């Protein structure tokens, strides 16, 4: 059961995290206003989503949460062309140089472009009676009274205006301004944990010969210490394949067709590279670079203003190669829902503590892998070196032990915590080899 805790809430940013947060807030506030500076038309990647051109496979846990918040969303996306996949069964996973054993897991996700995913969630959000969506609107700052946030200033097509609210949620992604706003109000900025990743992408949309990729809906060739080049192929809506090359620790993939294909020849299985060479290009190659992963530790602040929360990439932005961002944003939405069920007393403290718990597993997995790829050993702790040695052995064993492959896929899909990989039954199989 939910209960009303206020009259008006505002969400800043209409990305995946913002759309999910807005949905949760409609259960607790009489009106919710979603403010977005971009035009929300869903036809192409938005300026505010720098990774919008590249792959966005939705992990099983993220899809479960989105379906819970927007019932029927999965069926609608698949009917619209999204490609469903079951972990390992439809995913050809090559990690650490070893191809995982195939076995049903029962855990499914969907593969689609970012504009497609956003447009389907946005369409469902527009159906919510209590939600008002204001795009082409720029947030100019917070409205404050003493140590409380009471709304935001907005500049839109109708000129500047002030919107008062009981709660403001910053979902503006990597560009979220809460740290600066806190400082201006006399509060401390949150501590930041930063991991240098220097990830670069090159993505090409193609139509591939169906017979040559039959059964596979996703092909992942991961990077690992000693090999900083990887690749991912995802079937998406419109009978297309999204082919992405990824370089870590400063290695950058080429953006010209011949260089692109040569890279793929080097890292992908021969049959996959050959299928791409015979594919039909559907446009130009797009590139993107991500220098760092950043986690802001709001849960460690002693003081935080009432009436303000932060979600999604504005709290923690990951190396996108692991595909965790949307699912972590969905976990944040659950933390928001569960926190509001207990009212607004010490809301920020309870909410940020819940978000931190939800983030820990994903952050541990992604940063551990990133640190293993860095050339400078002083960036790695003893614990991370031990962990990555264990994961390297796990990946080798998963090539022939289906139970280990399933355990890894459930953790990478954020269904199970990383501790599942050190349960006695799994550890014994890995160490036995």
How confident is the model over 61-84, as a mean pLDDT? 94
CATH code at 109?
3.30.9.90
Confidence class for position 265, pLDDT limits 50, 70, 90:
very high
Per-residue pLDDT at 52: 66
Q: Are 430 and 408 in contact (CB under 8 A)?
A: no
How confident is the model over 217-239, as a mean pLDDT? 89
CATH code at 313?
3.50.50.60
Q: Is 144 exposed, middle or buried (0-12, 13-18, 19+ CB in 10 A)?
A: middle
Q: Among 235, 266, 290, give the residue marking a domain's end.
A: 290
Nearest to 88 by CA among 198, 217, 227: 217
**Residue 382 in this model has a pLDDT that exceeds 80:** no
**Residue 275 in this model has a pLDDT that exceeds 50:** yes
pLDDT > 90 fraction of the chain, expressed in percent and rounded: 56
Name the domain count of the chain: 3
In angstroms, the first-to-last Cα distance of the chain is 48
The secondary element (H helix, E strand) that includes residue 385 is helix 382-398
Per-residue pLDDT at 106: 81
Q: Are 5 and 28 in contact (CB under 8 A)?
A: yes
Instruction: Pick 249 or 8 by higher pLDDT.
Output: 8
Confidence class for position 324, pLDDT limits 50, 70, 90:
confident
Residue 109 sits in the same domain as residue 119:
no
Per-residue pLDDT at 73: 95
Domain containing 426 equals 378-432
Residue 158 sits in the same domain as residue 251:
no
Question: How does the average pLDDT of the chain come out, rounded?
Answer: 88
How confident is the model over 357-363, as a mean pLDDT? 87
Q: Is 62 part of a structural domain of the chain? A: no
How confident is the model over 333-348, as a mean pLDDT? 95
Looking at the DSSP bridge assignments, the partners of residue 308 are 168
Packing angle, helices 325-340 and 347-373, rounded to 10: 160
Residue 137 sits in the same domain as residue 183:
yes
**Which of 22-36, 94-108, 112-126, 209-223 shows the lowest per-residue confidence on average (mean pLDDT)?**
209-223
Confidence class for position 377, pLDDT limits 50, 70, 90:
very low
* Residue 319 phi, psi dihedral angles, 5° rounding: -60, 115
Confidence class for position 257, pLDDT limits 50, 70, 90:
very high
Q: Could you give the C-alpha distances from 401 to 108, 138, 169, 226, in angstroms and in order?
A: 21, 53, 45, 24
Looking at the DSSP bridge assignments, the partners of residue 10 are 33, 168
Instruction: Pick 361 or 133 by higher pLDDT.
Output: 133
Q: How many Å apart are CA 287 and CA 54, to the nearest integer?
A: 8
Per-residue pLDDT at 49: 66
């Amino acid at each position: 059961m939910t209960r009303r805790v206020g009259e008006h809430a505002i969400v800043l940013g209409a990305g995946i995290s913002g759309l999910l947060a807005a949905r949760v807030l409609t259960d607790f506030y009489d009106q919710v206003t979603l403010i977005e500076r971009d035009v929300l038309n869903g036809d192409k990647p938005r300026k505010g989503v720098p990774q919008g051109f590249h792959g966005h496979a939705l992990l099983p846990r993220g899809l479960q949460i989105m379906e819970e918040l927007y019932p029927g969303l999965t069926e609608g996306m698949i009917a619209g062309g999204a490609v469903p996949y079951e972990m390992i069964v439809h995913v050809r996973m090559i990690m650490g140089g070893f191809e995982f054993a195939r076995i049903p897991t029962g855990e499914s996700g969907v593969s689609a472009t970012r504009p497609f995913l956003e447009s389907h969630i946005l369409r469902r959000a527009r159906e919510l009676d209590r939600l008002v969506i204001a795009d082409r609107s720029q947030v100019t700052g917070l409205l404050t009274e003493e140590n409380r946030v009471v709304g935001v200033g907005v500049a839109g097509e109708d000129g500047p205006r002030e919107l008062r609210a009981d709660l403001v949620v910053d979902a503006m992604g990597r560009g979220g301004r809460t740290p600066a706003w806190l400082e201006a109000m006399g509060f401390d900025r949150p501590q930041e944990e930063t991991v240098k990743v220097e990830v670069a992408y090159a993505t090409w949309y193609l139509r591939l010969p169906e017979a040559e990729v039959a059964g596979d809906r996703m092909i992942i060739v991961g990077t690992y210490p000693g090999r900083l080049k990887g690749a991912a192929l995802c079937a998406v809506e419109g009978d297309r394949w999204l082919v992405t090359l990824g370089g870590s620790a400063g290695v950058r993939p080429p953006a010209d067709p011949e260089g692109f294909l040569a890279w793929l020849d080097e890292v992908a299985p021969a049959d996959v590279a050959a299928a791409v060479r015979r594919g039909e290009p559907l446009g130009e190659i797009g590139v993107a670079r991500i220098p760092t992963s950043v986690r802001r530790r709001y849960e460690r602040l002693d003081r935080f203003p009432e009436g303000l929360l932060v979600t999604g990439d504005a709290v923690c932005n990951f190396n996108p190669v692991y595909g965790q961002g949307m699912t972590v944003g969905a976990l944040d939405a659950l933390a928001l829902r569960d926190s509001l069920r207990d009212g607004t007393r010490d809301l920020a403290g309870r909410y940020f503590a819940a978000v931190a718990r939800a983030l820990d597993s994903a952050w541990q997995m992604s940063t551990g892998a990133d640190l293993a790829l860095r050339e400078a050993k002083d960036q790695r702790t003893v614990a991370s070196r031990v962990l990555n040695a264990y994961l390297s052995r796990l990946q080798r064993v998963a090539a022939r032990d289906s139970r280990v492959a399933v355990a890894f896929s459930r953790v990478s899909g954020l269904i199970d915590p990383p501790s599942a990989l050190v349960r006695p039954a799994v550890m014994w199989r890995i160490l036995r080899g």
